[in-house]
Amino acid sequence: MTADWPSQIFEKFKEQNVRQVSYVPDAGHTKLINAIIADPDIHAVSLTSEEEGIALATGAWLGGDKSVLLMQSSGVGNCVNMLSLIKSCKIPFLTLVTMRGEWGEFNPWQVPMGSTTQASFEMMGVHVMRIDQPEDVQDVLAAAMRMVFEGGTPVAVLLSQRLIGAKVFEGAK
Amino acid sequence: MAEQELDRLDVVAQLLKDRGDSLVVTGLGSSTYDVSAQGDNHRNFYLWGAMGGAAAIGLGLALAQPDTPVIVITGDGEMLMGTGSMATIAKQAPGNLKVIVLDNGHYGETGMQEAHTNSVTDLTTMAKGAGIEQSSTIVDQAGVDRLVDSIKRLENAPTFAVIKVSAKSYLRADTVAKTIKDGAYNRARVRVALGVGIE
């Protein structure tokens, strides 16, 4: 382990030549979003709602760009109908989702969507992988990117609330 | 006095007549049929669902292909469902993106129910408020002529245009039947046309 996990994710994006990264901000994605905004070779696309990111990923791939969507688990429900693009058009789609509503969540309103995040993706045909420990970030992301960009399988990687850590939320309060 | 109302099929024919190598994304419903009726093209991407997504698809495509004009042709109902993407487009501001809304003030696909745009809602004002400065409403042939002249131009900022068209609806089972519905094939075909691989 040489770097923190957001930096490891960013390195993987660069290795794979990801050109568009869209996001609805989340405290857990702060460091990664800042790295993307600072990179002149990546379009950092701030969204007003997560479903725009599904449409953006479709357009990006039509035009030859690899892309990734960053969001929080509470945004997954916003994407359900738009995910028909991914299924109907077989778009190599990768999203990294920071989880809320599970490990030590203080806000009960996060729990309904957090507890149905995986099921929401699966019912729309998106394969779900999960990371609970920082030492697994590189391997899981490499596996996910291979499935997506070599195999064409849409994948959602859930970054567990335990991985992100309670500290982020203390700072973000 | 009142000029003759613009006809959607006629307007789309004019917009696409000299499209060159422009990429065209069509919004769910009548807009897909209007574009398809002009003849199929390997640089067309037809939506049959994903309502509200046409403009954001155009944005992703425009960012990926900055030297090619990307023309989104959609309806007022489809655009109303994706108004947040106006702000997202304004922030990225690709000068090769043209979002054109054929506004008939109604939901044509579902029985011509009245849309918000027929009375209280102005999509051009919304787009301007979102930050797309080059936003306008076109109500006559002179406005269509100006848009046709600029549609292939690569500019410094995106264009948003609402074209007020007649609420006349077309029965066009032939067009519906022959328009590509296989999204994976359509996606692969656009990629091949752009030379970025099949998958």
Q: To the nearest whole angstrom, how far is the Cα of B34 from the nearest Cα of chain A? A: 21
Classify residue B138: in a domain, yes or no.
yes
- Which pair of structure tokens corresponds to residue A92? 């190599």
Q: Is residue B2 part of a domain?
A: no
Give the pLDDT band (50/70/90) at residue B125: very high
User: Could you give the percent of chain A with pLDDT greater than 90?
Assistant: 84
Number of domains in chain B: 1
Q: How many CB atoms lie within 10 A of CB B171?
A: 7
Q: In this complex, which of A43, A47, A59 lies closest to B57 when CB atoms are compared? A: A59
B1 within domain boundaries:
no
Instruction: Report percent pLDDT > 70 for chain B.
Output: 98
Tell me what the mean pLDDT of segment B140-163 comes to: 97
Choose among B60, B62, B88: nearest Cβ to A48: B88
- Predicted local confidence at residue A105, as pLDDT: 85
Residues 6+ apart with CB under 8 A from A159: A28, A96, A97, A98, A99, A131
How many interchain CB pairs under 8 A, A with B?
Answer: 127
**Residue B199: inside a domain:** no
Query: Quick check: A169 pLDDT over 50?
Result: no
CB contact under 8 A, A81 and B190: no
Of A51, A53, A84, the CB nearest to B49: A84
The tokens of B99 are what? 């979002």
Q: Is B37 part of a structural domain of the chain?
A: yes
So what's the pLDDT on residue B3?
Answer: 61
* Residues of B with Cβ-Cβ distance to A146 under 8 angstroms: none
Residues on chain A touching B132 (C-beta within 8 angstroms): none
Q: How confident is the model over A70-90, as pLDDT tens digits?
A: 999 999 999 999 999 999 999
Is the model's pLDDT at A40 over the cut of 70? yes
- Min Cα–Cα distance to chain B from A121, Å: 16
Q: What is the pLDDT of residue A8?
A: 96
Specify whether the CB–CB gap between B65 and A63 falls below 8 A: yes
Task: List all residues 6 or more positions away from B61 whose beta carbon is below 8 Å from its beta carbon.
Answer: A59, A60, A62, A63, B23, B25, B45, B70
* Residue B171 is assigned to a structural domain of this protein: yes
- The pLDDT tens digits for B19-64 are 999 999 999 999 999 999 999 999 999 999 999 999 999 999 999 9
Please name the member of A45, A54, A85 whose beta carbon is closest to the beta carbon of B88: A45
Share of chain A above pLDDT 70, in %: 94
Q: Which domains does chain A have, with CATH numbers?
A: 5-172 (3.40.50.970)
Domain that holds residue B125: 8-194
Residue B199 has pLDDT above 70, yes or no: no
Distance from CA of A12 to the nearest CA of B (A): 20
CATH value at residue B67: 3.40.50.970
SS (H, E, C) chain B: CCCCCECHHHHHHHHHCCCCCCEEEECCCHHHHHHHCCCCCCCEEECCCCCCCHHHHHHHHHHHCCCCCEEEEEEHHHHHCCCHHHHHHHHHCCCCEEEEEEECCEEHHHCCEECHHHCCCCHHHHHHHHCCCCEEEECCHHHHHHHHHHCCCCCCCCEEEEEEECCCCCCCHHHHHHCCCCHHHHHHHHHHHHCCCCC
**Distance separating alpha carbons of residues A110 and A94, to the nearest angstrom:** 23
Task: Give the distance, in angstroms, between the CA of residue B149 and the centroid of all CA atoms in the same chain.
Answer: 16
Quote the ipTM score: 0.96
Cross-strand pairs, B160: B99, B135
